[in-house]
Amino acid sequence: MHLLTTYPRLIIQLAATTMDFLMLLAVLLCLLAGMAFGRGYTRRARPQATTHHVSAPAVAHRALIENADQFFNRPGTSVPGSLAIWRNGERNDNIATVMYGPHLRVLRCNLTAEILSRLGSLAPLHEEAARALVADLSALCRGGGGGEVAIREPLTTAVFALATRMCFGDIVDAGHRITMGEVIRQSIVLAGELTTSLGASMLSKLANWRRIRRIYTLLDRQVELYLPLIAARRQSQSQLCGNGGIVRPYIDTLLDLRVPDDGDAPAGRPLRRGELVALVFEFLGAATGSTATCVEWTLAHLIDQPEVQDKLRCEIDGEADAGGILSSKSLRGGMPYLNAVVQESLRMHPPVPVIIRSVHGEGAKAIGGMTAVPVDGAMVVFNLGDIGRDEKTWTNPDKFQPERFLDGGEAEDIGPAPGPKEIRMMPFGAGHRRCPAVNMGMLHIKCFLAALVHEFDWTPSAEDCSKGVDMTEQAGGFVKLMKKPLCARVTRRT
């Protein structure tokens, strides 16, 4: 009796947080289950989701383009997505996590129509962000006189500031923005770690309980950081002026949006608080990580191959205005070498290294070696890095050769997103769930890269002078970073 009353109390006292308590409860349940079944327990065959890996461009095409309708969802049970979605008993989906259907269409259409298709109007924001990065870097490299700079942090800060303005307008002060950036960075790193270490079993959850608790803490922190901003935007949905047009911050469009209601409201329902937070997190994370990572990899190659850097600078100098700024129109279409350099970088180092789909039924046959799978489905992982370096598709796939994307090159007709006929690279994914922001992503990368190459000379750091730039990729993670963050000698051009 004593044990029965004392233990639960002890347990509750020991468990400082709900998560601790749940984990301990889970341990007890496991122990009880073990005792109950004892040695006579035989493992029942449970339907187990299998995982298939795809590295061949032709197989990716067969699945994601020819059989797109069977590959339109990401696995609902994928961790850590599932941890983030279910809070307080409700699904808080963003675009990436929601199941294919009307809800997804409404969210994707809103992002595309209200933000992604307004690149011309957003140009002043892009230009200001690029100028701020140049100023920041000039200060870091000894007032422009030359110095070694680790580029990742100033770059990420500049890209994140741009994403924050697009999302909330001008109401976020620098301190709040820095905290938001740090919380998102930590959340993404942790989610990346969980993706590789966390399985669906209870044992795996127990082994990872500290990380799971930490991710919930970070999610709560995001709620604390975004809600005051959302409330402020709700109060005054003032408009952000763009060049020749008006662009509303993303959050304003979300506050006005109505999504299909499972109940009986024919006009739909507003987004819930948790959904708004999930969508803001997605927007800020997606718009920042991939862009900053691609610019860092590209600079590494430009330092490694100074002749490519010179050729690129020549093209940029010819297009930039007196203030060194490139028009949005030039960035979007008029600079073939800049486009080729960015495409080559994305081919070799797609910032998002893998995309995942669930598949069931006959569609599974699109994947070599698979037969039709039952309704609980199988998971298919497409390796974007392998696809971009496929030896049957690319000549010297491990060599950085932007010329292949110019007229007469082996990839002259290849764009960043695959067309209907073939897949040769897919840094923005493919099929129904491909990235909706291909044009904006390309524009952001080009905008920051062009400003950096126009304003500075990039040479190896003292360490890299002897050894060369280390192009090793960091293992794991949602975004494929350089293992050794790029440190370069940066000199302001006069």
Contact between 281 and ligand HEM per CB under 6 A: no
Residue 242 and residue 383: Cα distance in Å, rounded?
Answer: 38
| CB of 390 closer than 8 Å to CB of 112 | no
> Which residue's CB is nearer to ligand HEM, number 23 or number 400?
400
Q: Stretches 28-36, 254-262, 427-435, 456-464: which one binds ligand HEM (CB under 6 A)? A: 427-435
Residue ranges for the known binding site for heme are: 435
Member of 70, 73, 291, 298 binding ligand HEM (CB under 6 A): 291
Minimal distance, residue 297 CB to ligand HEM, in Å: 11
By CB under 6 A, residue 435 contacts ligand HEM: yes
Total residues interacting with ligand HEM, rule: CB under 6 A: 26
Is 436 a binding residue for ligand HEM by CB under 6 A? The answer is yes
Nearest distance from C-beta of residue 251 to ligand HEM, angstroms:
13
Nearer residue to ligand HEM within complex by CB, 94 or 401: 94
Candidate ranges 207-215, 265-273, 288-296, 311-319; the one touching ligand HEM (CB under 6 A): 288-296
212-220, 238-246, 290-298, 312-320 -> range binding ligand HEM (CB under 6 A): 290-298
Nearer to ligand HEM, 282 or 315 (CB): 282
Q: Is 297 a binder of ligand HEM (CB under 6 A)? A: no
Return the range that interacts with ligand HEM (CB under 6 A); candidates 17-25, 178-186, 251-259, 423-431: 423-431
Residues 93-112 that bind ligand HEM (CB under 6 A): 95-96, 108
Q: Smallest distance, Å, CB 253 to ligand HEM?
A: 12
* Residue closer to ligand HEM (CB basis): 257 or 440: 440
Nearest distance from C-beta of residue 433 to ligand HEM, angstroms = 4
Choice from 63, 218, 287, 411 touching ligand HEM (CB under 6 A): 287
Residue nearest to ligand HEM as judged by C-beta position:
429
CB 445, min distance to ligand HEM, A: 6
Per rule CB under 6 A, is residue 437 in the interface with ligand HEM? Answer: yes
Q: Of 159, 294, 341, 411, which lies in the binding site for ligand HEM, with binding defined by CB under 6 A?
A: 294
> What residues numbered 144-203 form the site for ligand HEM, per CB under 6 A?
none
Site membership for ligand HEM, residue 433 (CB under 6 A): yes
Contact 427, 352 (CB under 8 A): yes
Q: Which of 272, 434, 484, 492 binds ligand HEM (CB under 6 A)?
A: 434
* Structural contact between residues 490 and 456, judged by C-beta atoms closer than 8 angstroms: yes
Provide the binding-site residues for ligand HEM, judged by CB under 6 A.
95-96, 108, 282-283, 286-287, 290-291, 294, 351-352, 355, 427-431, 433-437, 440-441, 445
